[in-house]
Amino acid sequence: MSGTMLNVGLDAAKLTEQRSRVLRGFAKGDRAFSLTTLIACWTVVIILTGVMVALFRGALPAFQAYGWEFFVSQRWSPPKEIFGGLPAIYGTLITSLIAMAIAMPIGLGIAIFLTETCPMALRKPIGIAVELLAGVPSIIYGIWGLFIFAPFLAEHVNPALVKFFAPIPLLNALFANGSYGTNVLTASLILSIMIIPFISSVSRDVFETVPAVLKEAAYGLGCTTWEVVRKVVIPHTRVGVIGGGMLALGRALGETMAVTFVIGNAHRINPSFLDPGTTISATIANEFTEADPGLYSSTLFALGFILFVITFIVLAAARLMLMRIERRLGN
Amino acid sequence: MNRTGMILNTIFPLRALALLATVAILAAFATGCPSETDSTSTDSSSSSSSSIADNSSTSTDSSAADTTAGDTSSAGGVGQIAGAGATFPYPIYSKWADSYQKETGVGLNYQSIGSGGGIKQIKAKTVTFGATDAPLSGEELTESGLVQWPMVMGGIVPVINLDGITAGQITLDGTTLADIFMGKISNWNDPAIAALNAGVTLPDASINVVTRSDGSGTTYNFTYYLAEVSEAWRNEVGVDKAVEWPVGIGAKGNEGVAQNVAGAKFSIGYVEYAYAKQNSMTHCNMINKAGKTVSPDADAFAAAAASADWNSVPGYGVILANQPGDSTWPMTAATFILMYKSPEDDAASAEALKFFKWAFEYGSEEALGLDYIPMPSSVVESVEAMWAGEIKGENGQPLV
């Protein structure tokens, strides 16, 4: 009997030891796992810093040569080595802003239609069509824009715009000339088509997270669909909608190929949206292959660095805005 | 059952460690330094780098501007000649390469990444030859130990889009062309254009100017001509592969300019002759240095080459713009090849020279078929004599 007791005791001791070994194993495994994820995280940080440092080092000669002048000068003359970044910076910002102004209402409209009023049978096909639009490579938009869209605008839309706005002061300066099909407005329109799917698919996803009970309660109080969307759905999903918008803006700021095809690539700032312009990414894509090493190449690095900083500022501003909204809601 | 679960779980840390090891190995590969110094690991890393070099020399990827493979050889004279540069001669180089491969089994991998890229790559010694539309100066050639010669020629033509106007119906001279591209002449019925085109009804419409937005040898040769004929152009705009265009829109590549001119009425642009011809665009005639009106065609380009003094500039770096001669087309341009005088890989360079010799000898018909102009025989003889005199192998013997 005592033998059995001993056996049981031994068994228990063995079991405890086994268990603690297993537990030690767990701890080790967990450490290794968290180390792996840490490395993955640091890879991103290291690459990001590396890109930033490399861009800045490449840009340094240009910044030293031109200083603040670079941000305000409009001249761009490779033979004379006079470079000013303002037209490219202006073009980048203005095309993205116009694109957002067009795409935001349309994108939200698509999302609202899909989640609130669309018949069930149509939801899937339309949703897929919108997502396919997001998958179209930008070069396709560029070719389509250059061969079909720009000539169409030049022939039918631009003259009408010029005629329509001619008697309105201020706006007639924004819509003047219009003899070129490739211009700032064409680039903005192409950009807006490219970013609509980002806005609408993100918005649709967040709209679907609105609890049905909230909406039903609002409908029960006699709200119209418009009131439900405005007072319930959008306030509830504000953060997600703004996030989708920022994603779209980020894409618009950096878009290269499609814009290069249709913006007209002129290093000049014109008041009219129907005149050619350029953007930072279009300038870099156009001129890098043939840029002489030295100041010319360095200027392109400087433009790249500025684009990096602009994108960073946009993201930071978006974050700040979200934080303030959330704080206000908290109070 | 509980036990099996535990046992399975004890295996888990092993898996995590394996993952970690994989990440470490990948990182070592990515940074290009072997993590250990024992012989097996260095062996494996060196074999992997040579396989990268093989890939780069056989790939036909034209955008591989950043080929950083250390091994520039075309694998000991077997299979491939590696070159990179100007886009303008790309169609004829690839046509020659095709025929040459059929005849000899030796292929050519030419990356048409632009003249600037070609110069960068030959200086970085990642290719056996570089190709450029804008010739290097004598000092730059001596400094870098390169030789340069013209390979083939072509023309640049102004193309227009005016209703009811057909090719050759409009004639321009150099100063008028310069004034149009400077914005000084901004309407098609300007007296300066009308004076050159008596009998043609010119529309009362503003001129849409289309230029190249990307850096390009075509732009270099075009602006060189405009600076030759217009002092204002020389002082205010200058000559380069990309310039500060006072007016107009920029389009990418010859095809971009062609499309923009075709897509917008009342436009004018400039493209390579081969491009204008193959797309049957409306070109202008020009008044040349001798004051004669000429149409762009093979004879007019050849006339420019014939009247040029090729030995006046080191590296045959003659710009054929505004050459004398009654039948000379004023915007003719040659495209150049760059190679090292003392190449690192003799076999690869000898293969490349054999290809160029073959192209000079048998490639003329194919060049004319694609609307390029072969070099005159006097120039070819001089170039071949230069090869024999200047490009030497390790043993001091000429490669050809």
The model's pLDDT over A309-326, given as tens digits with 9 standing for 90+, comes to 999 888 888 888 878 877
Query: For residue B331, is pLDDT > 90?
Result: yes
What residue spans define the domains of chain B?
Answer: 155-306
Q: State the pLDDT confidence band at A3, using cuts at 50, 70 and 90.
A: low
Mean pLDDT, residues A170-180: 84
pLDDT digits (tens, 9 = 90+) for B99-108: 999 999 899 9
pLDDT tens by residue, B272-324 = 888 888 888 999 999 999 999 999 988 899 898 888 888 888 889 888 899 98
Domain B155-306: what homologous superfamily? Periplasmic binding protein-like II (3.40.190.10)
* Band of residue A244 on the pLDDT scale cut at 50, 70, 90: confident
The CB-side HSE value for A159 (13 A sphere, CA atoms) comes to 6
**B255 Cα to chain A: minimum distance (Å):** 11
Q: DSSP per residue over A142-164, as a string? A: HHHIIIIIHHHIIIIIHHHHHHH
- ipTM for the complex? 0.76
Look at B241 and A290 and tell me if their CB atoms are within 8 Å. Answer: yes
- From B240, which residue of chain A is nearest by alpha-carbon distance? A79
pLDDT above 70: percentage of residues in chain B:
80
Please report the residues numbered 127 through 156 in chain A whose beta carbons come closer than 8 angstroms to any beta carbon of chain B: 146-147, 150-151, 154
Q: List, in order, residues 6 or more apart from B123 with CB less than 8 Å away.
A: B130, B144
Q: Is the pLDDT of residue B18 over 60?
A: no
Whether A32 and B206 lie within 8 Å, measured CB to CB: no
Q: How confident is the model at residue B64 (pLDDT cuts 50, 70, 90)?
A: very low
Of the candidates A303, A298, A299, A295, the residue with the CA atom closest to the CA atom of residue A279: A303
Interface test with A, best of B209, B218, B244 (most A CBs within 10 A): B244
Sign for the pseudo-dihedral over CA of A220, A225, A230, A236: positive
B215 to A151: CB separation less than 8 angstroms, yes or no:
no
Pairwise CB contact (< 8 Å): B260 & A29: no
pLDDT band at B86, cuts 50/70/90? confident
Does any CB of chain B come closer than 8 Å to the CB of residue A281? no
DSSP string, B191-246: HHHHHHSTT----S-B-EEEEE-S--HHHHHHHHHHHHH-HHHHHHT--SSS---S
Q: Which residues of A touch B113 (CB under 8 A)?
A: 289
C-alpha to C-alpha distance for B151 and A110, rounded to whole angstroms:
58
pLDDT digits (tens, 9 = 90+) for A187-201: 999 999 999 999 998
Dmax over CA atoms of chain B, in Å, equals: 102
Residue B245: its chain A contacts at CB < 8 A?
266-267
**What is the mean pLDDT of the segment spanning B186-203?**
93
Sign of the CA dihedral with A4 first, then A10, A15, and A16 last: positive
Lowest mean pLDDT among A32-46, A206-220, B278-292, B305-319: B305-319
pLDDT confidence tier of residue B122, bands split at 50, 70 and 90: very high
Question: How many contacts, defined by CB atoms under 8 Å, are there between A and B?
Answer: 131
Residue B247 has pLDDT above 80, yes or no: yes
pLDDT-derived band at B32, boundaries 50, 70, 90: very low
Q: With bands split at pLDDT 50, 70 and 90, how would you rate the model's confidence at A330?
A: low
* Contact residues, chain A, for B134 at CB < 8 Å: none
The chain-wide mean pLDDT, for chain A, equals 89
Of the partner residues A29, A265, A286, the one whose CB lies closest to the CB of residue B16:
A29
**Yes or no, beta carbons of B259 and A21 under 8 Å apart:** no
* Confidence grade of residue A90 (pLDDT, cut at 50, 70, 90): very high
**How many residues are listed for chain B in this entry?**
400
B290, two tokens: 């001798």
Is B263 close to A154, i.e. CB distance below 8 A? yes
Which chain A positions have a beta carbon within 8 Å of B122's beta carbon? none
How would residue A11 be classed by pLDDT, with cut points 50, 70 and 90?
A: confident
